[in-house]
Structure 1
Amino acid sequence: MKFVMVVLFIACVVSAQDNTVVDVLKTLGTESKLLELVQKAKIDSRLEGKGPFTVFAPTDDAFAALPEDLLAKLESDNLLLTQLLEFHVASSKVMSDGLKNNQLIPTLIGLNIRINIYNTSKPSVITADGAVVIRPDNVASNGVVHVIDQVMWPVPTGDIVKGIASNIHLSTLGSAVSKAGLVASLSGDGPFTVFAPTNEAFFKLPAGVLDGLLKNVTALTNVLTYHVVPGAYFLPGLGNGDTLKTLEGKVVTIKNSMDAPAMVNNATIIAQIAESNGVILLIDTVLMPPSMHYELVYERK
């Protein structure tokens, strides 16, 4: 009888030791696509190793929300797929109660995931590069799995200035940032949130306003710094009615409800892009500081 009990005890210990992060992903029931991609990239054996690992695991719905062409590209480019998956795995074990606002967590690819904790609701919302942690602390023998509601894409390989420069929809903003001499500031450690008007947003300005700004560096700087907020405010961190103080010194007001896209002042937020020193939030309208609104818009009509 004692021998049987010892055997059973050893079997239970071995079973517990074998409960790796890969096994946890299998038991969650929402991670079949992630598991498929992990096996395709051949990193499953690594994740079954000693670790420890913290896996930020997008759900099947998160992968389904990606554009079809992007998912097809990931599945056909093993290097790109591996980079994406390794960015979702931290090279340490961090439980949710050990996460702090603006904490940077190194990943297997060598880049950092930015953690934010927002008190816009109860309980507080935890995000990883803007993706909400919806099911934390799924413990494994070699780490922990935190389920997230989005795929962390694109992988943030550069700072905000580089992110603007590489985005075809933000070329006008990029030129304006350079003209105003803000490249060095927005390349700093931050973190910053940049409400980034698209090219189309600039084209919506009344005739002559953009040309006038580009000829007046002081006015241009005032307008651009009105689009920058200290801190990293991903969409889940924007509470309805929040006011955020900008680098220009005045505040912008957030509208964010369940039944409409989030807005800052009168501009709709159309996308968010994580960068190494903050986040870019693309908007469809240029924001005007209250003191400059009449001068820049109405006097030129």
Structure 2
Amino acid sequence: MKNRKPIRNSLLIIPALLMLLFGACKHDDLEIAKPNENFRLAADFIKNNYDLTLFSAAVEKSGMAETLRGKGPFTLLAPSNTAFNEIGISKASDFDKMNPDSLKALVRCHILNQQLLFSQVPVNGVDIRYRTLAETQVYATLASYAPNNSAYPANNLYFNGSSVTRKDVTIANGIIHVLNKVMKVTPNSTVRDWLAKRPQYSIFVSGLKKFGFWERLSGAGPFTVFAPQNSVFEAQNITEASIAALDPATHSGERLFGSYILHNKHFFISDYNVFYIINNESAYNGQLDNDSWYFIISTERNFFTAAVTYSAHLQTALDYPYDTYPAAGSTTPALTDNLTDNGLVHDMQGLLLLPEQALKH
């Protein structure tokens, strides 16, 4: 009797060992990474995504669809439908009005021929450059946190000033980041070229010419220019004729028109939001060239849309006592961040200074 007890215990142990063995095999099988057959190629993914149908139409009409069905890897910086709506494109047929070469360049400017994950963009990096299929450069900026506030990162990622609203969307041949704005790039062009081709800025251009700033804008730069449209000047009864009648001997051109130009600065509107996050700067202060006055600009980022708007004004000094002038800015992000080879142009919906406020004393 005593000899049989150990045998029964051994027999009971065998099934338990078998269960552990099969359990271990099953566990090992679950650990094996299997390819996800649901991942689609870039062109097919955007075609079947309800928020990217306009970008998909642009890809198809530009002849880039087959490229995006290739091996890759690609990174698509894909503007949402709302982003296209904001620049006047509401349906696929609207792309038919564009020059085919311009449309192809627009699409290619939104594609990198590498996979760029959110985690690969340098933390608090500003204007990190990557190459696009159009052979242009795209500027990536990631504002995470100030050094003394690293526990609560903002992680605001921008490409050419456009906010990323969805990041790291995995596709079979790369990655997609969804943008809230269409990136506007004009290669082989200067700030001066950009303004000259747009008649809605002709009064502003006449002022730049009158006070000697126009030729400078074809130089190396970089320049960041804030440009009011004709309607803004006309609302204050300012015309090309009235500007032509101004006397540089009695009016400060540096304050009246030079204040719209930041020299040796390459700032997207989002950069001011970035400075706020990483440097705790509530506003940017830039002194006017050859003048004691300051250009002050601050931004606000919409929590829901990630749109960044700005407000700017002139100030006679940084510290009290000083005089300040009414603010101008833009509540239309689609009109800002126009990138050229030597700088940026931002639409400004207001005037920094009126002629009577720029009189020399």
> TM-score, normalization: structure 2?
0.64
**2:312 counterpart residue number:** 264
Backbone CA RMSD of aligned residues: 4.1
Pairing 1:43-54 to 2, within 5 Å after superposition: 43-54=64-75
Pairing 1:208-287 to 2, within 5 Å after superposition: 210-211=243-244, 213=246, 215-216=248-249, 219-229=252-262, 230-234=265-269, 237-238=272-273, 241-248=282-289, 250-254=294-298, 256=300, 262-265=310-313, 266-269=327-330, 271-276=335-340, 277-287=342-352
- 1:202, CA displacement in angstroms? 3.6
Q: In the aligned structure 2, how far is the partner of 1:42 from the partner of 1:55?
A: 16
Letter in 2 for 1:254: S
**Which string of whole-angstrom CA distances, capped at 9 and with x for unpartnered residues, describes residues 106-155 of structure 1?**
222222223334569951422222221111222345332111112224x3
- 1:218, CA displacement in angstroms? 8.4
Letter in 2 for 1:161: R
Letter in 2 for 1:278: G
Structure 1: where are the runs of 5+ without partners?
Answer: 1-11
- 1:185, CA displacement in angstroms? 4.2
Bigger Cα Rg: 2
Q: In the aligned structure 1, how far is the partner of 2:202 from the partner of 2:91?
A: 22
**2:76 counterpart residue number:** 55
Percent of aligned pairs with the same amino acid:
20
- 1:71, CA displacement in angstroms? 6.1
Q: In the aligned structure 2, how far is the partner of 1:218 from the partner of 1:192?
A: 23
Q: Is the 8 A contact 1:255 1:262 kept in 2?
A: yes
SS in 2 for 1:92: coil
- 1:261, CA displacement in angstroms? 6.5
Q: In the aligned structure 2, how far is the partner of 1:145 from the partner of 1:217?
A: 55
Q: Normalized per residue, which structure has more helix? A: 1
Flag the 1:280–1:22 CA change in 2: closer, same or farther, 3 A: same
**2:9 counterpart residue number:** none
The number of residues matched between the two structures is 286
SS in 2 for 1:264: strand
**2:120 counterpart residue number:** 98
Q: In the aligned structure 2, how far is the partner of 1:70 from the partner of 1:275?
A: 25
Q: In the aligned structure 2, how far is the partner of 1:160 from the partner of 1:183?
A: 10
Flag the 1:178–1:295 CA change in 2: closer, same or farther, 3 A: closer
> TM-score, normalization: structure 1?
0.74
Pairing 1:52-131 to 2, within 5 Å after superposition: 52-68=73-89, 72-77=93-98, 78-99=100-121, 100-118=125-143, 122-131=153-162
Letter in 2 for 1:274: N
- 1:179, CA displacement in angstroms? 4.0
- 1:164, CA displacement in angstroms? 1.4
- 1:283, CA displacement in angstroms? 1.9
**2:26 counterpart residue number:** none
- 1:169, CA displacement in angstroms? 1.7
**1:39 counterpart residue number:** 60
Flag the 1:267–1:250 CA change in 2: closer, same or farther, 3 A: same
Q: Is the 8 A contact 1:22 1:48 kept in 2?
A: yes
Q: In the aligned structure 2, how far is the partner of 1:174 from the partner of 1:70?
A: 34
- 1:28, CA displacement in angstroms? 5.5
